Structure 1
Amino acid sequence: MTPDAAAPDSSPDSSAVPVPDPAPVPTRMLVHALVREDGTVDAGELYTVAGLLGMTDQQVRLCVKRLVAEGRFTHEGRGRKAVLRAVADATGAYAPDAAYVRLAYRQDHGLAPWDGVWHLFAFAVPESERAARDALRDTLLHLGAAPLHGGLYACAHPIGPLVEARARELGVAAAVTSLTSTDLRVGGVVDPPALAAALWPLDGIAARHDELADFARSCLDRLGRPEPLASAERLSLAVRLAAVFSYAMTPDPLLPAELLPRPWPGTRARHLMATCWTALARHPATNGSTPLPRLFALYEDLAG
């Protein structure tokens, strides 16, 4: 799919917010993020927003070609007048886990206090089933568990049912042991916040949230200006904010407030993100009749 020769220049707009992204937006994510409620993506809008995000037309063309070849989208028409149509629900390519994000905000508001219970998981999967062993380990890490020793992990949340389901799926359920404890001791450390600081890379997680907070503040500064946003700039800000939010949240085990330093940067960053998203969703665009992508409804619901 090639842009029309007479199409407007897709180079970055000088009016866009000049904020460095800690998490550049992948081209594939951009395509999925611009899917509208009717399942379509306007190619002209796609190329314009891509330009604002520093992507080349060639990057977009190649990405669209791959997505069509994979059967994820079909396209009708040519160049910037083309329309892409999602073959299936494309939100999974950019959507955060809704339950995970809602837990984060519940904790931020003091609605999910910690019960003082550590959830422990041990497994001994043989080398002959290495792929299953690695997949189970990755699942534990993804769910916010931290390694204590070889094959032994701890988590502050009751993730047992999810771990057991994954172990059954991998065919290694018999190799998994789980238990709970209220007096976990690691190398003589027993104080829960001290254990959390020793087991999870809190400094690195906090730094990502600081970057999210900085980016959200920069967006709020732009939204506070009297001039309306062009539709493409509004969309580019939305996509960038979603990408930076995902970047900050991906390594976060969502430890309960009782285990974290005070104040915790994640709480402030998520508050700013929600404030920014609400302002962005309500901010008038110069061509406000343009249909908004699913991204707006998704994040407005999660951050609301």
Structure 2
Amino acid sequence: MTGDIAPRTVIEAFLPMTGDVGLDLVLDTANAAGLPDQPVRLALRRMVAAGDVVQAGRGRRGTVRLTEQGLARLERDRAALTLAEAQDAGRAPWDGVWRLTAVSLPESQRARRDALRRHLTELGAATVSTGLYLSPHELMDLLDATAREHLVHAEAARVTVRGVTDSRAVAELLWPAASVVDGYRSLEETVDRVAAAAGEAEGVRVRVLQLHLADALEQAMRPDPLIPLELRPTPWHPSRVREEWRSVWRTLASRASDGGVYRGWPGF
């Protein structure tokens, strides 16, 4: 396998929803994947400083566990994976409602206003006018109560964006299909390489291959707004790639005598 795995991916892959994990397992797997201890320890220190995890003990005898904040953040990240799986299986049809959101904060709170706008963009909303965002998804549940206090939210069955009214055309205008599809090319290549190696994998090699899959999926899905499939061309290439990913993941999970990584997490 080629391609570097992000140190944070290695750590997160072993964090259980409850309880802790030994750093010896994290570091040994990272080493097997070609990552030395130092970048993994640095990533861990950053996660501790951010309040996402708590470390007990030092060195390979230490342990690490998620905080409530870290668990909530990972659960939000996993929500995208759950949505993608439901869309691909036809269990998450679009309700036909467009959501319009604006941030209502004065210039005196510019930094906070800009942060909220960035967050809406990260959640897949598109800018349709200065400070006004559009999404086919309900995003309010993904924002904390403090953020929602500063938002103006409306729903519409039809929208016109720059003279475009057809829903599919609006989606293509704001979230071009080609750029999303291109973002899955690298994932597709990784899936093919891992599939070729999965049949003979054992022990730590299984976990390393899983990490390559997880990291590549993260890179592909992070910029994907997961627009409902009713608004995308048919067939939708990212759906096919994700299904191939799931097939290879299931093969590896069946070969992992210790359960592999991401144990107990939805979508894995």
After TM superposition, the score normalised by the length of structure 2 is 0.83
For 2:267, what is the secondary structure of its paired residue? helix
Deviates more, 1:59-68 or 1:100-109: 59-68
Q: Does 1:295 align with 2:262?
A: yes
For the residues of structure 1 that align with 2:121 and 2:262, how far apart are their CA atoms? 27
Structure 1 equivalent of residue 236 of structure 2: 264
Give the Cα separation in 1 of the matches to 2:127 and 2:182: 22
1:84 to 63, 66, 91: 63
Radius of gyration: which is bigger? 1
What residue number does 1:281 align with? 253
Query: Could you tell me which amino acid in structure 2 is paired with residue 279 of structure 1?
Result: T
Match of 1:223 among 173, 184, 198: 198
Instruction: Return the letter of the residue paired with 1:295.
Output: Y
In 1, Cα distance between the equivalents of 2:95 and 2:47? 45
Task: Output one character per residue of 1:262-304: Cα deviation in whole Å (capped at 9) or x when no partner.
Answer: 22122012101211111111015xxx3xx44651332xx415x
Deviation at 1:100, TM superposition (A): 2.8
Q: Partner residue of 1:31?
A: 11
Deviation at 1:260, TM superposition (A): 0.8
Q: Return the alpha-carbon distance in structure 1 between the equivalents of residues 245 and 75 of structure 2.
A: 15
How far 1:66 sits from its partner (Å)? Answer: 6.0
For the 8 Å contact 1:28–1:63, the answer to whether it is kept is yes
Rounded Cα–Cα distance in structure 1 between residues aligned with 2:89 and 2:99: 23
Match of 1:118 among 85, 89, 98: 98
Q: 1:233 to 1:120 in 2, by over 3 A?
A: same
Percent of aligned pairs sharing the same letter: 30
- The unaligned stretches of length 5 or more in structure 1 are 1-17
Larger CA deviation: 45-54 vs 253-262? 45-54
> Alpha-carbon deviations, 1:243-270, whole Å to 9, x = none?
1111111111111111112221220121
User: Judging changes above 3 Å, is the alpha-carbon distance between structure 1 residues 93 and 242 closer, same or farther for their aligned structure 2 residues?
Assistant: farther
2:214 pairs, out of 231, 236, 242, with 242
TM superposition shift of 1:98? 3.6
Q: State the alpha-carbon separation in 2 of the partners of residues 183 and 40 from structure 1.
A: 49
Deviation for aligned residue 1:178: 2.4
Give the whole-Å Cα distance in 2 for the aligned partners of 1:53 and 1:95: 25
Please tell me the residue identity of whatever aligns with 1:58.
Q
1:171–1:261 CA distance, 2 compared to 1 (3 A): closer
For structure 2, the residue ranges without an aligned partner over 5 or more in a row are: none
Mapping of residues 143-154 of structure 1, within 5 Å? 143-154=123-134
Partner of residue 156, structure 1: 136
Letter of the 2:65 partner, please give it.
Answer: A
TM-score computed with the length of structure 1 as normaliser: 0.74
Q: Provide the aligned length of Structure 1 versus Structure 2.
A: 264
Give me the whole-angstrom Cα distance separating, in 2, the residues matched to 1:211 and 1:95. Answer: 25
